[in-house]
């Protein structure tokens, strides 16, 4: 008998899922119907949630949930919060919870594991078009209504073009100097830009939807180098709107990494005939290491630069944004006017049609900085003694099942669903993950490990696991 788990993050309760697998590699049609309310337990076979303690659910699920759960497993550098969910203590950047050992025979066989997070952790932004705010989490949901551009860089791509996921139909393309897709993005894949003698340039043709009068532009960036730019300063263009080679204003707005003033990020905005250059207060002695989230906002009263969710510079600014520049009004990534070339990686580019508040920008950062992943292992006995190491989707101890498969159809929730094979998250027609069955085989017992990764800032929330269940 095959025992295959469906992994469904950000969901509540155990779902009864009739029907066959859909042809598009997504969830079963019955699952889609059960989750149409945005993640409630309307699809529970027994009409109730998982047991609040460590015992079995009254129906077909076994699991633990806040407020009285998470007592039956083993905590390592994690804790039960006052509200009962799992989280990391302040200042702790990683921890884990190992579940009790679950018996396939005693429970009548399991066919899925599912869990719910209180806030997005490792979840890319949901695809558009957006008619409502994301509602799949208890906190940290994104409101992308009115947004203009969303580039994941991991779906429907070729060697020279990448599709926009906002629903506005934009396409980013290149000709000779193309960035390269890499697998080590902040969410799935990313694009790698090289400066060199030519650099890499990605262009999105101008359109009215790319010219909002208030905006937020944000991206995840991993900088490894910059090139000589105008004025003898080294610049690395992340994303720039428009170009005027003759002089100021050089762009309508833009984000770049700039050595003027000492290796800082810069947000440029032209509004009311005034150009402001917001050079961040956070200076990097050398080039920054790892992924950083940068954002520039303009709300009609102030322009602000954020680095990793924290305001890094601001200035009062009013008036209409200055579009219609002399040389180009296209949107470009990785290079400006043949110079100011970025060496590094770019992922998850967002252009919204309003200026986000500080809390919203922080949530954009946290959904990429926080991680909650799951690994599994088969057990030869009820204590799991002598069991192999925990493993993720590729069968190794370094990979994890996560919620990094965007879904636009379930109230903006992000989820991972594996059936007899796995989900196709990037639309290339191929399974992105190996079957869970390859990890568990025909073992009678199984065990799960939930791994939480947070940030060192004491004032920021950690990943939070609200409940999980294994069901049939």
DSSP 5-18: --EETT--S-----
pLDDT at residue 107, rounded to an integer: 63
Of the candidates 154, 220, 218, 141, the residue with the CA atom closest to the CA atom of residue 188? 154
- What CA–CA distance (Å, rounded) separates 406 from 394? 20
Q: How far is CA 91 from CA 87, 306, 459, in A?
A: 12, 22, 9
Please give the Cα distance from 113 to 448 (Å, whole number): 9
Residue with tokens 């990448």: 162
Asked whether the beta carbons of 211 and 331 are under 8 A apart, the reply is no
Residue ranges in 15-173 assigned as alpha helix (H): 29-34
120: DSSP letter: -
Residue 18 pLDDT = 25
Question: Using the 8-state DSSP alphabet, how is residue 107 labeled?
Answer: T
Identify the segments of the chain with pLDDT beneath 70. Answer: 1-60, 107-112, 155-158, 195-199, 227-233, 245-247, 260-261, 337-339, 403-441, 471-472
pLDDT in tens, 378-436: 899 999 999 999 988 777 888 887 755 433 322 222 333 332 334 444 444 444 444 45
* Tokens of residue 67, six digits: 């407020």
> Domain residue spans in the chain?
1-122+370-472, 149-367
| pLDDT score, position 184 | 85
Rounded distance between C-alpha atoms, residue 131 and residue 136, angstroms: 14
Interatomic CA distance for residues 320 and 326, integer angstroms:
17
Tokens 């003694």 map to which residue?
385
**Average predicted confidence (pLDDT) for the chain:** 77
pTM to 2 decimal places: 0.82
Give the whole-angstrom CA distance, residue 142 versus residue 176.
36
Q: How far apart are CA 471 and CA 7, in angstroms?
A: 11
How many CB atoms sit inside 10 A of residue 381's CB? 12
* pLDDT value at residue 129: 94
For strands 310-316 and 328-333, give the pairing.
unpaired
| CA nearest neighbour of 9 among 456, 448, 439, 461 | 448
> CA 201, CA 210: separation in Å to the nearest integer?
18
Q: What is the pLDDT of residue 355?
A: 98
Question: Could you tell me which CATH class the domain 149-367 is placed in?
Answer: mainly beta
Phi, psi of 204 (to 5 degrees): -115, 115
Q: Give residue 227's pLDDT.
A: 62
């Amino acid at each position: 008998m095959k025992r295959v788990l469906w992994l469904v993050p950000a969901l509540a309760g155990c779902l009864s899922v009739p029907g066959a697998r859909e042809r598009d590699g997504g969830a079963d049609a019955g699952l889609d119907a059960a989750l149409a309310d945005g993640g409630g337990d309307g699809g529970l076979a027994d009409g109730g949630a998982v047991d609040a303690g460590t015992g079995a659910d009254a129906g077909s699920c076994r699991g633990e949930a806040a407020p009285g759960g998470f007592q039956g497993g083993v905590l390592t550098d994690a804790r039960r919060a006052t509200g009962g969910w799992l989280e990391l203590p302040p200042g702790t950047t990683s921890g884990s919870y190992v579940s009790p050992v679950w018996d396939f025979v005693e429970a009548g066989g399991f066919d899925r594991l599912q869990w719910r997070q209180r806030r997005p952790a490792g979840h890319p932004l949901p695809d558009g078009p957006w008619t409502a705010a994301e509602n799949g989490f208890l906190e940290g949901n994104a409101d992308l209504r009115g947004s203009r551009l969303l580039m994941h860089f991991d779906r429907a791509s070729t060697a020279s073009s990448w599709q926009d996921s906002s629903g506005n139909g934009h396409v980013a393309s290149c000709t000779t100097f193309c960035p390269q897709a890499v697998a080590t993005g902040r969410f799935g894949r990313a694009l790698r830009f090289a400066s060199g003698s030519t650099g890499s340039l990605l262009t999105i043709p101008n359109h009215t939807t790319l010219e909002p009068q208030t905006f937020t532009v944000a991206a995840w960036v991993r900088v490894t180098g910059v090139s000589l730019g105008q004025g003898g300063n080294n610049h690395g263009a992340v994303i720039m709107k428009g170009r005027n080679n003759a002089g100021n204003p050089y762009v309508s707005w833009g984000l770049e990494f700039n050595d003027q003033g000492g290796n800082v990020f810069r947000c440029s905005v032209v509004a009311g005939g005034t150009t402001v250059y917001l050079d961040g207060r956070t200076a990097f002695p050398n080039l920054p290491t790892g992924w950083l989230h940068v954002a520039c906002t303009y709300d009609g009263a102030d322009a602000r630069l954020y680095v990793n969710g924290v305001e890094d510079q601001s200035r009062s600014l009013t008036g209409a944004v200055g579009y219609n520049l002399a040389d180009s009004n296209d949107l470009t990534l990785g290079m400006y006017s043949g110079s100011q070339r970025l060496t590094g990686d770019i992922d998850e580019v967002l252009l919204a049609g309003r200026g986000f508040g500080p809390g919203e920008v922080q949530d954009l950062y946290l959904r990429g900085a926080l991680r909650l992943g799951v690994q599994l292992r088969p057990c030869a006995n009820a204590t799991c003694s002598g069991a192999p190491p925990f493993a993720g989707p590729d069968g190794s101890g370094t990979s994890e099942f996560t919620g990094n498969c965007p879904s636009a159809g379930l109230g903006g929730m992000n989820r991972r669903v594996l059936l007899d094979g796995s989900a196709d998250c990037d639309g290339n027609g191929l399974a992105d993950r190996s079957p869970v069955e390859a990890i568990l085989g025909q073992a009678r017992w199984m065990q799960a490990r939930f791994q939480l990764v947070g940030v060192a800032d004491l004032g920021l929330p950690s990943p939070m696991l609200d409940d999980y269940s294994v069901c049939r």
